[in-house]
């Protein structure tokens, strides 16, 4: 079997295994299903075209998370994104919603939001998050503490929602 075909089969297996995670992270960062789907496709293309660690199960999940977050950051900074405004006319009042906590997490800046997401939703440790994001463990821990304080402050002021 040619090497390229083996690589494609391995990539398909990885995509099936981590598709939900990639999509959730993209949706968490961009808050728009269409944009999250675009990022998902970009990550899949990166998996096929870049030098991804396909045969290293230990590093592939971290690599996918990092590529997804970086693609979301790049997308958010793009010219197109800065000149468009989302039509979100059907949005519920967050106070009436069962999804209050995710909405509050969305209100955080991305540098805190991703750490909160990886820590509470993907259940990574601070050390693992630091490795994934390429940051110092103490920096990640500080950002996690600041994010918790911001969320606590928002919840305490919850009557104003």
pLDDT band with cut points at 50, 70 and 90 for residue 86: low
Query: Could you give the angle at the alpha carbon of 94 between the alpha carbons of 90 and 95, nearest 5°?
Result: 135
The pair of structure tokens assigned to 112 is 């805190």
**Domains of the chain in sequence order:** 1-87 (1.10.1740), 92-161 (1.10.10.10)
Number of residues that make up the chain: 161
**pLDDT at residue 102 is higher than 90:** no
Phi, psi of 55 (to 5 degrees): -100, 15
**Burial degree of 105 (CB within 10 A; 0-12, 13-18, 19+):** buried
Q: From CA 121, how far away is CA 113, in angstroms rounded?
A: 11
Residue 95: predicted pLDDT: 41
- pTM for the structure as a whole: 0.70
**% of the chain surpassing 90 pLDDT:** 35
**pLDDT at residue 94 is higher than 50:** no
């Amino acid at each position: 079997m040619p090497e390229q075909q083996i690589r494609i089969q391995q990539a398909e297996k990885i995509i099936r295994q981590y598709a939900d995670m990639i999509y959730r992270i993209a949706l968490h960062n961009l808050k728009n299903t269409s944009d999250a789907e675009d990022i998902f496709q970009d990550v899949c293309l990166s998996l096929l075209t870049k030098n991804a660690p396909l045969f290293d199960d230990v590093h592939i999940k971290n690599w996918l998370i990092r590529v997804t977050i970086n693609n979301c950051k790049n997308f958010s900074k793009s010219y197109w994104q800065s000149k468009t405004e989302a039509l979100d006319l059907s949005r519920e009042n967050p106070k009436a919603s069962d999804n209050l906590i995710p909405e509050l997490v969305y209100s955080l800046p991305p540098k805190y939001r991703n750490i909160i997401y990886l820590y509470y939703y993907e259940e990574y440790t601070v050390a693992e998050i630091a490795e994934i994001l390429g940051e110092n463990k103490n920096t990640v821990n500080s950002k996690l503490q600041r994010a918790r304080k911001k969320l606590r402050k928002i919840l305490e002021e919850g009557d104003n929602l």
